[in-house]
Amino acid sequence: MESDQLPQVLLPGKPAVTTLLGEEIFMSDKFDFLKAYESALPLHQFLTTHAHKIQAIWSIPATPITADILRLLPHLKLVVTVTAGLDFVDLDECRRRGVAVANAGTVYSEDVADVAVGLLIDVLRNISAANRYVKQRLWPLKGEFPLASTMGGKRVGIVGLGSIGIEVAKRLEAIGCYISYNSRKKKSNVPYTFYSDVCELASNNDALVICCALTDQTHHMINKQVLLALGKKGVVVNVARGAIIDEKELVECLMRGQIGGAGLDVFENEPEVPKELFDLDNVVLSPHRAIFTPESVKNVCELAIKNLEAFFSDKPLLSPFIDDSY
């Protein structure tokens, strides 16, 4: 089939996956990728020019799919993304316009859960701090490194028991932790204690692991009240979205010793990170990399391509967006 006869898929911005996989992934004999980032035209003008033939978008966080963008594309029927979170897509407008949405599904769940548990272990056992202690040659000068905390027996509350939260729970159970969770509603298929109030969850646990999606309802859900309920020995881990935690209040609580520590893979204004966190040994930081391994990037791109192929073949999507993370 000639290129101009193939279904048209918009690439509004250059996907980060091209760094690892190259541009070859966007070479297909089943659909034609329109690369707006290679055009000299401003995005809105590019969309207006090609609006009559764009049926799908491969979306990226750097170029949000807003109501304004959707209004420019009257023939759009599908938004595909290689992310798990969809806070950069106007889901309400997609529903209103009958635009289907497919995301990463469960591709990242195990990798993100690994990082969540790794961050929690790191904070509780002071692994990164101990590493710095040795490398800065402080051991022979200052003597024994301070004692850390045992993992087994810790009570861990998971905020958002979707596919990632479930994998976190499985890993922590294997270590000997006691699991409870907060979600919009109680899940009938899990044995864990349910708390409808996140503040109550915090007050009954030694650590919180944030795994839910960022929505209007979860924005700054982990506020000062929740952090104080977690207490002076409590640890918070975030592998979801930075803005779920009120970052300013988190910094204040950490600086004042009102919580015990934090493991953070995500931040409210990425790539900016509060400088107050840099010198705290009870804080472990990661540059939003929980989802990224060579294996996961390859798998999620293959999934996105298969979603496009299914859509243009009038078959069910392989990973339609299901809002079950909170």
Q: Based on the residue annotation, tell me whether 200 is a catalytic residue of this protein.
A: no
Nearest to 58 by CA among 13, 97, 23, 95: 13
> Which is catalytic among the residues 241, 247, 249, 268?
241
Q: Based on the residue annotation, tell me whether 270 is a catalytic residue of this protein.
A: yes
Q: Map the chain to HEC letters.
A: CCHHHCCEEEECCCCCCHHHHCHHHHCCCCCEEEEHHHCCCCHHHHHHHHCCCEEEEEEECCECECHHHHHCCCCCCEEEECCCCCCCECHHHHHHHCCEEECCCCCCHHHHHHHHHHHHHHHHHCHHHHHHHHHCCCHHHHCCCCCCCCCCCCEEEEECCCHHHHHHHHHHHHHCCEEEEECCCCCCCCCCEECCCHHHHHHCCCEEEECCCCCCCCCCCECHHHHHHHCCCCEEEECCCHHHECHHHHHHHHHCCCCCEEEECCCCECCECCHHHCCCCCEEECCCCCCCCHHHHHHHHHHHHHHHHHHHCCCCCCCECCCCCC
Note the maximum CA span of the chain. Answer: 72
> Which is catalytic among the residues 95, 132, 270, 289?
270
Can you tell me the distance from the alpha carbon of 186 to that of 193, in angstroms, rounded to the nearest whole number? 9
109-125 vs 163-175: helix crossing angle, rounded to 10 = 40
User: CA 193, 196, 179 angle in degrees (round to 5)?
Assistant: 25
Q: Based on the residue annotation, tell me whether 97 is a catalytic residue of this protein.
A: no
> Which is catalytic among the residues 97, 125, 184, 288?
288
CB contact at 8 A, 109 and 163: yes
- Active-site residue numbers? 241, 270, 288
